[in-house]
Amino acid sequence: MSDIKKVAVVGGGTMGNGIAHVFAISGFQVKLVETSRELADKALNTIGKNLTRMVTKEKISEKDKEEALLRIQPELNLTEAVKDVDLVVEAVPEHFKLKKKIFAEIDEHAPEHTILATNTSSISITKLAAVTDRSNRFIGMHFFNPVPVMKLVEVIRGLDTGDEVIQAIIEISEKLGKVPVQANDSPGFVSNRVLMPMINEAIYCVYEGVAEPKAVDDVMKLGMAHPMGPLRLADFVGLDVCLDVLNVLYDGFKDPKYRPCPLLVKMVDAGKLGDKTGEGFFKYD
Ligand code: NAD
């Protein structure tokens, strides 16, 4: 049995605030680390709004919401935040140098028993673990957006990750009401290795004039029962993020089957990144 009670979530953006939300509503004490008071407040506001939505849908009571919010303590000092926690989940932007710096600091100041987990979508778990002196207590804990809604946690074993650490993360994921699925460390893990080539192929269909974006998405929605077409999903994920992940696959396997479609590259160059810029394969208000 794992005895994880206190958790630090580093980064309170899209993923971090969702991760803090699910830990807090499941009864864990959470320290939410951000770089400024303003960003920490923004994360807490988002969590408050999302919890209110759960109250409206009668999934939790007003009291559950208030108690969950009280369990989240915003922190601006990483060293201070990790000094007495049992688990750290890192969710800062997808840059190796930034994550490396953060994990070196966490490793220095967190107690020996603390498990270090990263929510990275594409960086090697083994390479990040090697930044620390506890690669046996380092693991990938890959949540999906929006975190309070999506059931999957991809649990990724690095080269040295200990069995008891895998077990602890499986147990804790279940306590969060999630379904943990194990994978070994490999470029894109399972999720992005399967998803991104499908998105890339959908983009090739548009690039080669096989079909319009809406037609490509309709085929996958109506014929394959996908809840969202691959191009709509690419816009939601961010075309820049899709390109980065495809490049990770391409570089990692040195296999031309992962070559990003030139149209994807062109759209990223043009700043058409999807929902976040108001235009990608579709337009948004
Ligand atoms: P984001 O940019 O929305 O949020 C990152 C947050 O980290 C920001 O709020 C930023 O202020 C904060 N931050 C930056 N430096 C920090 C530091 N030194 N200390 C504390 N906080 C710091 O990014 P995101 O989409 O939430 O992605 C975070 C991670 O999750 C990435 O590794 C990404 O690959 C992964 N991921 C993202 C998704 C997704 O759909 N967005 C899905 C799965 C995994």
CA pair distance 43, 273, nearest whole angstrom: 23
Q: Are 131 and 93 found together in one domain?
A: yes
Does 157 map to a domain?
A: yes
pLDDT digits (tens, 9 = 90+) for 169-183: 999 999 999 999 999
Does 282 map to a domain?
A: no
C-beta of residue 207 within 8 angstroms of C-beta of residue 261:
yes
To the nearest whole number, what is the mean pLDDT of the chain? 97
- Ligand 1 centroid to Cα of residue 94, in Å, is 7
From 34, 75, 90, 154, the catalytic residue:
154
Q: Are 227 and 273 found together in one domain?
A: yes
Domain limit, last residue, from 184, 207, 242: 184
Helical spans, DSSP H, in the chain: 14-25, 37-56, 62-71, 78-82, 96-109, 125-129, 163-175, 191-207, 213-218, 224, 230-237, 239-253, 262-269
Q: What is the CATH number of the domain that holds 260?
A: 1.10.1040.10
Does 222 map to a domain?
A: yes
pLDDT digits (tens, 9 = 90+) for 262-271: 999 999 999 9
Domain limit, last residue, from 167, 184, 201: 184
Q: In this model, does residue 166 exceed pLDDT 60?
A: yes
Q: Over range 242-256, report the average pLDDT.
A: 96
From 50, 124, 135, 192, the catalytic residue:
192
Q: Are 179 and 215 found together in one domain?
A: no
Q: Kindly list the strands in the beta sheet with 152-157, ordered across the sheet, starting from the edge strand earlier in the chain.
A: 72-75, 29-33, 6-10, 87-90, 115-118, 138-142, 152-157, 179-184
Q: Are 151 and 207 found together in one domain?
A: no
Does 285 map to a domain?
A: no
CA pair distance 11, 196, nearest whole angstrom: 25
Q: Whose CA is nearest to atom 35 of ligand 1?
A: 120
In the prediction, which pLDDT does 276 show? 93
| 45 is an active site residue | no
pLDDT grade for 138, boundaries at 50, 70 and 90: very high
- Ligand 1 centroid to Cα of residue 141, in Å, is 14
- Ligand 1 centroid to Cα of residue 227, in Å, is 25
Q: Over range 214-226, report the average pLDDT.
A: 98
Q: Are 46 and 144 found together in one domain?
A: yes
- Ligand 1 centroid to Cα of residue 6, in Å, is 21
Q: What is the CATH number of the domain that holds 158?
A: 3.40.50.720
In the prediction, which pLDDT does 153 show? 98
In the prediction, which pLDDT does 2 show? 67
CA pair distance 89, 32, nearest whole angstrom: 10
**Chain centroid, CA 194 distance in Å:** 16
CA pair distance 165, 113, nearest whole angstrom: 10
Q: Are 35 and 169 found together in one domain?
A: yes
Q: Are 266 and 176 found together in one domain?
A: no
Ligand 1 atom closest to residue 120's alpha carbon, by position in its atom list: 32
| 121 is an active site residue | yes
pLDDT digits (tens, 9 = 90+) for 74-132: 999 999 999 999 999 999 999 899 999 999 999 999 999 999 999 999 999 999 999 99
pLDDT grade for 140, boundaries at 50, 70 and 90: very high
pTM for the structure as a whole: 0.95
Does 51 map to a domain?
A: yes
Cis omega (within 30 of 0) on the bond before 74? no
Tell how strand 87-90 and strand 115-118 pair up. Answer: parallel
CA pair distance 210, 204, nearest whole angstrom: 8
Residues having CB closer than 6 A to ligand 1 are 10-16, 33-35, 39, 78, 91-94, 102, 119-121, 144-145, 237
Q: Are 88 and 22 found together in one domain?
A: yes
Owning domain of residue 227: 193-277
Give the chain's domain count. 2
Does 21 map to a domain?
A: yes
Does 283 map to a domain?
A: no
CA pair distance 148, 57, nearest whole angstrom: 13
Q: In this model, does residue 1 exceed pLDDT 60?
A: no
Does 219 map to a domain?
A: yes
The two three-digit tokens of residue 88, written as one number: 């750290």
Q: Are 125 and 208 found together in one domain?
A: no
pLDDT digits (tens, 9 = 90+) for 18-69: 999 999 999 999 999 999 999 999 999 999 999 999 999 999 999 999 999 9
Q: Are 201 and 227 found together in one domain?
A: yes
Q: Are 252 and 134 found together in one domain?
A: no
In the prediction, which pLDDT does 285 show? 86
Q: Are 170 and 212 found together in one domain?
A: no
pLDDT digits (tens, 9 = 90+) for 191-212: 999 999 999 999 999 999 999 9
